Amino acid sequence: MADVATPAKRSRRSGGLNLRLWLPLAWILVVVVAAVFAPLIAPHDPLAQDLFLERLPPFFMSGTEPGYWLGTDSLGRDVLSRMIHGARIALFVSLIAATVTCVFGSALGLVAGYYGGWWDRVISRLVDIWMAFPPVLFAVLLVAVMGTGLTSVIAAIALIDWTRFARVIRAETMVQSRMDYVDSARIGGARRFATLVSEILPNVLPSIIALLMLEMGIAVIVEAILSFVNLSISSDDPTWGSMIAEGRNAIHFAWWVLLFPLIALFLTVLSFSTLGEGLKQRFDPVLQ
């Protein structure tokens, strides 16, 4: 017997879907606000050092000082202020790198999946060759060759991750190109490029959005890894990866230096991934 969705079931599904959208969106908005208004929100200068205040515990422990909510590191720098300013770098890298990767990879996937022929063969072979390189090691090698800095980090992420978009969007495009609405557009006299843009692209857009959100989370991780090994920006500038690297060396004396940026990194990556899946379920016409 067919499962008929009652109003109560539809309400529960809608509520779960909204929760899956709003929870990660709320955290991402917190990160965005922290990144945009970091100079106004941060209680202290993230680079200011005071050895008399080194390794102060968070506010809920004894021995802390007023105004240092998440404690200080081994140089007396405020952990909360460094996390807030580190959000600026994480968000900037994820937004620019993911957008460049999305546009380039999705365009190649659309062309390969729709036009086929030698377009598909060339792009598919290029994807296979590119995927033979270990992504993280490839990113480290590229940054080591190009030099440290945000530009190098963004370029490295875009160069290693475009294949994910190309493969997935190619497969989605091949499925959509066999649908009746595409044949109807062709019979109606629409040109192939116009059909690709006006008919196929809107139907693969939910997958592109989901991949874009996932890629933003991956970009945050890659930037943190490169910062962890001191291959991102200057080691003095606050990044979540450099804070985790410093906190690892002081885990037995000042665990909060490691834990709080690690939690921020985990929640940000999880929120991007969950938000992407939620948006795909919300707007994908096939799932609807």
Residue 8 has pLDDT above 60, yes or no: no
Distance CA 234, CA 162 (A): 27
Number of domains in the chain: 1
Q: Is residue 2 domain-resident?
A: no
Asked whether residue 79 is assigned to any structural domain, the reply reads: yes
Residue 87 has pLDDT above 90, yes or no: yes
Instruction: Measure the CA dihedral 136/233/91/94, to 10°.
Output: -30
Q: CB under 8 Å to 120, separation ≥6 — which residues?
A: 112, 113, 170
pLDDT given at position 288 = 55
Average pLDDT over every residue of 205-214: 89
pLDDT at 286: 55
Q: For residue 7, is it within any domain?
A: no
Which structural domain, as residue segments, surrounds residue 62?
16-283
* The amino acid at 92: F
Residue 56 covered by a domain: yes
CATH of the domain at 165: 1.10.3720.10
| Burial category of 287 from C-beta neighbours within 10 Å (exposed 0-12, middle 13-18, buried 19 and up) | exposed
d(CA 160, CA 25): 27
Q: How many CA atoms lie within 13 A of 65 on its CB side?
A: 15
Supply the angle between the helices 240-249 and 201-228 in degrees, to the nearest 10. Answer: 40
| Helix locations, the chain, DSSP H | 7-36, 38-41, 79-115, 117-131, 135-146, 150-176, 180-187, 192-195, 201-228, 240-249, 255-283
- Residue 1 domain flag: no
Closest CA to 233 of 86, 99, 121: 86
- The mean pLDDT of 32-50, rounded to a whole number, is 92
Amino acid residing at 111: V
| Structural domain includes residue 83 | yes
Q: Which residues of 21-30 are buried (b: 16+ CB within 10 A; e: fewer)?
A: beebeebbee
Contact 94, 213 (CB under 8 A): no
Average confidence (pLDDT) over 49-69 = 88
How far apart, in whole angstroms, are the C-alpha atoms of residue 151 and residue 96? 10
Buried b or exposed e, range 92-118, using 16+ CB within 10 angstroms: bbbbbbbbbbbebbbebbbbbbbbeee
Alpha-carbon gap, residue 49 to 68, rounded angstroms = 13
Query: What is the per-residue pLDDT across 100-149, written as a single tens digit (0 to 9) for each?
Result: 999 999 999 999 999 888 999 999 999 988 888 777 778 778 887 887 78
* pTM for this prediction: 0.83
Q: Which among 81, 113, 92 has a CA at the least distance from the CA of 203?
A: 113
d(CA 227, CA 235): 8
Q: What is the pLDDT of residue 232?
A: 77
Q: Is 174 inside a domain boundary?
A: yes
pLDDT at 2 over 60: no
The answer to whether residue 97 sits within a structural domain is yes
For residue 214, give the nearest of 135, 270, 166 by alpha carbon. Answer: 270
Positive or negative, the CA dihedral 156, 161, 162, 163 is positive
CA-based max dimension of the chain: 78
